[in-house]
Structure 1
Amino acid sequence: MGARMLRLSVGAALAVASSGGAQSRDAPTLNSRITGDISPTHDPVIAREGDTYYVFSTGGRYILSRTSKDLVHWTAGKPLIGELPDWVAKAVPGAKDMWAPDISYVNGRYRLYYAVSTFGSNRSAIGLFTSPTLDPNAPNYGWRDEGPVLMSTNDSDFNAIDPNFIVGRDGKHWLSLGSFWSGLKLFRLDPETGKPADPAAKPYSVARRPAPAGGPDAVEAPFIIDRGGYYWLIASYDYCCKGAQSTYYTVIGRSKQITGPYLGKDGSKMMEGGGTIFIRADLPEQDRFRGPGHAGVLRDKDGTDYVVYHAYDKTNAGAPTLRIAPIRWGADGWPIAEY
């Protein structure tokens, strides 16, 4: 994983293989114990520095922060950035918010990739801030604006939001991104700048959902991890942002090459809307947390992998809520989220 600390109609869903059951709903899961300032949390990403876990997420105008010492008790912090950089107004007129942060540690500094856009538009941009530490009490703490990374326009066939950074096994740096339009893309980065190595190069396509007649291409929020000789692409299918009516769910596929092709356990192609279900909504008899998606992964110091995501709480007016689950890797090599 290098520097990384780490939505389907009913008919289509039947064609997507399940990765196996989640942990019994009667068992004391991490999600059943998580408490504190966990809502509103949308598009979360998680990292650990020292003895502190950090979750960054979309919320309000700026990137929200939360911390915990044990993954259970969470405390809200101040927004990371107090205002949009000056370049945003020209790049994305009308943008007023920062969305979908991604955090990684590269060359002695943390890289916070984030998106600026307006809802439903693909005139969007990815920006970058860096800081030597995540600890706001450290004397050297402070986020530096590194400017725009890449942009999409109304003429682009992709949407430059939902960034995720990864270093490949060969040392090459990559940024995946995308939401709707023609699906998820992968860009090669310059390791020094964290920006495209060749601004003129076309991105690789790694996932797409062929849209129904007159409908949208409902796939977004890529996140890639490296484990067991495979790259694993996590993505969100269907619709977020509708509270408890959200139909989001999370799928996963794997590939020997970071550029794909990514396949589900049954061989279904993520470039054709396939993949294996990784996180689904609560079972109907529970029916509380709906639309789980925009997942990220943390590999902790003890080797345990955790998946962080948001889901909409029906008992709290559909508020987007922080969810975290350990990942168990099955005998067949496939991950099972114990949520």
Structure 2
Amino acid sequence: MNYGPHELTYAAAENRYEQLPYRRTGKSGLDLPAFSFGLWQKFGTDYAFATQREIILHAFDLGITHFDNADRYGPPHRAAQQNFGRVLAKDLAPYRDELILSTKAGNAIGPSPYQRGGSRKSLLTSLEHSLRDLGTDYVDIFYHHVPDPETPLEETVSALVSAVEQGKALYIGISNYLPDRTHETAERLRAAGVPLLIHQARYSIYDRRPERNGLLETADQDGFGVIVYSPLAQGLLTDKYLETIPAGARAVNSTFLSPDVIDETYRARTAELNKLAEARGQSLAQLALQWVLRRSEVTSALIGASSTAQLDHNIAALTFPALTDAELALIDEHGVHGTGLRL
């Protein structure tokens, strides 16, 4: 990261496209970096903006061109988009054509019936707010964040198509859909001339639903890519909780991870996975990231970071040899689906 006088001007690293491999998103023409950056946590008003800015710019210097957001991310809701918008306006505006910006709508962000769900009103209104938050005329990917069984699927699909036709989104994605609804959505979008680009799903060694319920096979069949979130299972696939729960850890202060799932069964299984990682000369986090990227259907893995050092560490996962059949078998033995999670 380079700065000009008074540290006001950012100039991206010239070697930024030499750091990461890019992977094709399904059968589209779009390449995404193997790692994308998610602003789900630690990019609200409760964390220092200067640190957020430093991490975002460092990610771009490393070749991460895809930044994933949602109207819900904060706290409060929309704060992460607004913070990223500040970085975009001040530092990344000259590189907008090199960025893939995504946002999502449909998850509840308030008491109003128009602040949730899959209606045209909810989705297109949220998109307008997100564009203002980010300070951009369009997003590259617009997602429906969660399925809404109370709204006809044709209405949700129609709203997503309208976002593209209006020039406010280049591609369409969905998130957290089950395979059958995913397939129907893909067919409806294809018929409207706006193919489904990508599905964002939770996937990790401890959460194998996409490979158990057929989502990965659906991706191959329908030609969309998969981008995975929580590849480290909210920190469970690190060595952080092997002995105790550290003060200030996510299990203490996050609504997404409860300390009661960190039991002896979890620790025994995680210790074995950690031994395998150490035998490979890497951390458990790096092993877990390699594992999700082993599948050809997976285009990219979303990672976050609370420091540039943590970001560097995670990116280094790509420098290790591919997992062998014997190592994958050990991961299957100890990486039991559902460990440490409330499914």
**TM-score scaled by structure 1?**
0.30
Decide which structure has greater helix share. 2
Is the radius of gyration larger for structure 1 or structure 2?
2
Decide which structure has greater strand share. 1
